[in-house]
Chain A
Amino acid sequence: MLNVSEIQTFEHDVLVIGAGGAGLRAAIECSARGLNTGLMCKSLLGKAHTVMAEGGVAAALGNVDRRDSWKVHFRDTMRGGKFLNQWRMAELHARESPDRVRELEEWGAVFDRTRDGLISQRNFGGHRYPRLAHVGDRTGLEIIRTLQDHAVHKGFGIYMECTALELLLDGGRVAGVLGYWRESGRFVLFRTRAVILATGGGGRAWRVTSNSWEYTGDGTAMAYDAGAELMDMEFTQFHPTGMVWPPSVRGILVTEGVRGDGGVLLDSKKERFMFRYIPEKFAVETAATEEEANRWLAGDKQARRPPELLTRDVVARAITQEVNEGRGSPHGGVYLDIASRLPAESIRKKLPSMYHQFKELAEVDITRQAMEVGPTLHYFMGGVRVDDDTQMSSVPGLFAAGECSAGMHGANRLGGNSLSDLLVFGRLAGVGAEAYVKGPGAAPRVDDEQVRSAVRRAILPLNREAGPNPYVVHEDLQGVMGRYVGIVRNEADLQAAVREIDRLKADAAAVKATGASQYNAAWHEALDLRSLLITAEAVTRAALVRQESRGAHTRLDHFSEREEWQKVNVIVRKGKDGTMETRVETRRDPPAALAAIAHATIEDLEAGRV
């Protein structure tokens, strides 16, 4: 029998899982508050998916347009999220993001500047004013590097290329985490009072995705297994503009900054089509003609914004419809043209990494040619349900922040709101964890038998004689999700997906990883399958429950927003018999002051009448 005392063990007050923006910011906060902190990540430090974020970080600094304020940001966010956001979270986010951005500058981040030397801000979809603090189009890299360089001097434990397998509980509270070093395949035990999940989303369950390999829904799945509630899982955001060609880069993101800087979407006849897709609700705030849109771009404050900058769900659905109706580009997307809109020099300056990416990967010069783009699975609005202020889940001692938590973005996320989300809620999770760790309650104990059974489960794929190839099972899942749980959904497809996922669960439970445990990609893949399947099932089942179209969730068989569904969230949790349960839960009424802001006209808000 395995002797638990022989497993390498670390002790912490709090262990953060995931070292993207949210995890790093959470760990910095915990450490600054005097907690003995550990941070574990599946990749090397600084490689997390946050590096891919291009456009910027949303914060109402008002540096470029003084009319901006937290209230306008809050209103934009609620409207973007189709009023399903947790009101308090959207409030905290809008109020605190300017401070989080200034703090980054204090830690060495070098944002682009305005003419008078302040942090520059750019336009983005769904944001009324230029609000995104940015560094060209590599803002995510700047943020992660700043946090990383700041963190390495704080003296907390950083465990790289270390994968978390299971949360260990003591009487329902967090007691530890079992993980393994990817490099050696050896197991590692963390004894800890609190865990902050910052593991991102689960986009790798889909074939066309902007997500890196790490996005297998680990946090969501571990929390689910530990008994936590998941929420809003049906809302999976398809970014409207992923690369569609060549096939090897299919899904990789083309920043919304291209549209923010004047890029337009064109159909196969090179005609601008977004004017045909303006939802009634946004009509008063969107330009009616190309001429007006161009005036807006030139800085005319009386003009309204171009329809290319409508929220992501609107643009993604418009592109899908164009393609479905036969007006797409040769490789099944549409054209995104910046070449005819800006001089080559300023394209290279404003969008350096896009220029680089298309030039080197697609052999397309975006200063001369249009890009071919189409929707790609990008972001999970749903995830672990947390308390608005403390970020604690329904499991005591278990916190979540960033993409793996739910509530902030509601039915659809505005671009730029994820980088600010990471910073605001990464920090708040640290504050919440401190209160919990320093609060009453005896230190939890890790149960040896729990550890032993977790280890046994993990080594099954290595020890089996034979079984399905884990890569093939993963590809199979990606096909299922792409086919049945895509950008438009219906009951029959979703039911088919549930059946297919059941079949895949059986395959995944029998996979064989060849070779030894040391840096064995097949074994890693086999272990990731468990998280991918739980996450995929949660999305599918939640999508079945929500019988309306709202935000990123489009049901062909329920093709519009329905008032009664604005009043509920869909909750997923593990039932007593081990199967997945869903239920709808009525939302609390919003605080009157916040409701007044969200529903105010922009004129009333800006005149200070609200």
Chain B
Amino acid sequence: MSERTFRIWRGTAAGGSFVEHRIEVDEGMVVLDVLHRIQAKQANDLAIRWNCKAGKCGSCSMEINGRPRLACMTRMNLYTAGDAITIQPLKTFPVVKDLVTDVSWNFEQNKRIPPFRPRPRGADGQHRMLQADVDRVQEFRKCIECYLCQDVCHVLRDQSRKDAFVGPRFMIRLASLEMHPLDTEDRIPAVRKDFGSGLCNITRCCTEVCPEHIEITDNGIIPLKERVVDRFYDPLLWLRRTIFRR
């Protein structure tokens, strides 16, 4: 079809630089296809993470022309012919090699979240839930753990506060548990204290990059923040707690 120029970051934690590749691109290709072609023909040892190639596993997260995206869901016809395409690893996580970053911090966060604790089944041995009630947690459960939201979160990316804030991915994981119709665990004190809900200043960057179009901020984080406010910052409740020392 036509030759295109790719500038790909190559290197390790010790450092690296952009390397230019000229390569044939066919009609209908996505960025991941081109990377695979470069890997097969020009840079055999190029490190890329990928699995499903259909936007369902969230493995091929990277920054393409400065925007965090899934390479498998980024069509080449999005870009003007003739312009070079710049590809680099996620910025918020340490580089392992080339386009692969160390995302293990995220897996550690998941372990900290108090697990699902269902109420007992009904007398007939069944759990009953209405579709209307599960709709909202199903939205959060669409998350494919691509961590693009974690990558653009100011608190994690610019302020490096991984010590204090769990990030959008795990805020919606918390929301999916807190809003689960069967769950009985109370995670609201932890949402405030351990997971740092107060640090999110609702810039909605996470929502913008979500490939699953989850309304992370509006439907997940804000309702959690509201629950925290209701619990800890309601002046009437505060007064009652102070008086009755509860």
Contact A51 B28 (CB under 8 A): no
Interface residues of A in 449-478 (CB under 8 A from B): 469-472, 475
A118 CA / B130 CA spacing, docked (Å): 8
Q: Chain B residues near A520: list those with CB within 8 A.
A: 45, 47
Checking B12, B40, B59, B129 against A47 with a beta-carbon cut-off of 8 angstroms, the contacting residue is B59
A519 CA / B97 CA spacing, docked (Å): 7
Q: Chain A residues near B32: list those with CB within 8 A.
A: 248
Among the listed stretches B134-142, B154-162, B197-205, B235-243, which one makes contact with chain A, having 4 or more residues with CB under 8 Å of it? Answer: B134-142
Any B CB within 8 A of the CB of A489: no
Among the listed stretches B15-23, B79-87, B110-118, B218-226, which one makes contact with chain A, having 4 or more residues with CB under 8 Å of it? Answer: B110-118
Interface of A: prevailing SS: loop
Any A CB within 8 A of the CB of B67: no
Contact A118 B128 (CB under 8 A): yes
Checking A48, A253, A361 against B73 with a beta-carbon cut-off of 8 angstroms, the contacting residue is A361
A253 CA / B53 CA spacing, docked (Å): 11
Contact B52 A212 (CB under 8 A): yes
Any A CB within 8 A of the CB of B229: no
What 1/0 flags go to A351-363 for Cβ under 8 Å of B? 0010011001101
Checking B27, B39, B55 against A356 with a beta-carbon cut-off of 8 angstroms, the contacting residue is B55
Minimal Cβ-Cβ distance residue in B for A135: B138
* B interface size (C-beta, 8 A): 61
Minimal Cβ-Cβ distance residue in A for B70: A360
Checking A43, A105, A214, A471 against B39 with a beta-carbon cut-off of 8 angstroms, the contacting residue is A471
Any A CB within 8 A of the CB of B93: no
Any A CB within 8 A of the CB of B164: no
Given A106-B118, A116-B128: A142 in contact with B47 (beta carbons within 8 A) = no
Contact B46 A521 (CB under 8 A): yes
Q: Chain B residues near A514: list those with CB within 8 A.
A: 44-45
Given A118-B126, A153-B111: A246 in contact with B44 (beta carbons within 8 A) = no
Contact A522 B44 (CB under 8 A): yes
Q: Chain A residues near B110: list those with CB within 8 A.
A: 149, 152
Minimal Cβ-Cβ distance residue in A for B29: A248
Contact A142 B107 (CB under 8 A): no
Number of A-B contacts (CB under 8 A): 167
A469 CA / B129 CA spacing, docked (Å): 55
Interface residues of B in 76-110 (CB under 8 A from A): 96-98, 100, 102-104, 107, 110
CB distance from A3 to the nearest CB of B (A): 27
Interface residues of A in 80-121 (CB under 8 A from B): 105-108, 110, 112-113, 116-118, 120
Contact A52 B28 (CB under 8 A): no
CB distance from A353 to the nearest CB of B (A): 7
A49 CA / B59 CA spacing, docked (Å): 12
Contact B56 A141 (CB under 8 A): yes
Checking B27, B45, B103, B104 against A246 with a beta-carbon cut-off of 8 angstroms, the contacting residue is B27
Q: Chain A residues near B115: list those with CB within 8 A.
A: 108, 149-150, 153
What 1/0 flags go to A136-176 for Cβ under 8 Å of B? 10100110010001101100000010000000000000000
Contact A357 B55 (CB under 8 A): yes
Q: Chain A residues near B127: list those with CB within 8 A.
A: 105-106
Q: Chain B residues near A105: list those with CB within 8 A.
A: 118, 127, 182
Given A117-B130, A361-B73, A520-B45: A51 in contact with B144 (beta carbons within 8 A) = yes
Contact B118 A108 (CB under 8 A): yes
Any B CB within 8 A of the CB of A224: no
CB distance from B246 to the nearest CB of A (A): 30
A141 CA / B51 CA spacing, docked (Å): 13
Contact B141 A117 (CB under 8 A): no
Q: Chain A residues near B173: list those with CB within 8 A.
A: 149
Any B CB within 8 A of the CB of A245: yes
Q: Chain B residues near A150: list those with CB within 8 A.
A: 115-116
CB distance from A356 to the nearest CB of B (A): 7
Checking A47, A245, A249 against B51 with a beta-carbon cut-off of 8 angstroms, the contacting residue is A47
A43-B51, A248-B28 known; 19 new pairs, CB 8 Å cut-off, are A43-B57, A106-B118, A110-B129, A116-B128, A117-B128, A135-B138, A138-B56, A138-B142, A142-B141, A214-B51, A248-B33, A357-B54, A357-B55, A471-B44, A513-B45, A518-B97, A520-B45, A521-B48, A523-B45
- Offer 16 A-B interface pairs, CB within 8 angstroms, sorted by A: A46-B57, A51-B57, A52-B52, A52-B56, A110-B138, A118-B128, A138-B56, A141-B56, A356-B213, A357-B54, A515-B45, A518-B96, A519-B100, A520-B45, A521-B45, A522-B39
* Residues of B that sit less than 8 Å from A by CB: 12, 26-30, 32-33, 39-40, 44-59, 73, 75, 96-98, 100, 102-104, 107, 110-111, 115-116, 118, 126-131, 134, 137-138, 141-145, 173, 177, 180, 182-183, 213
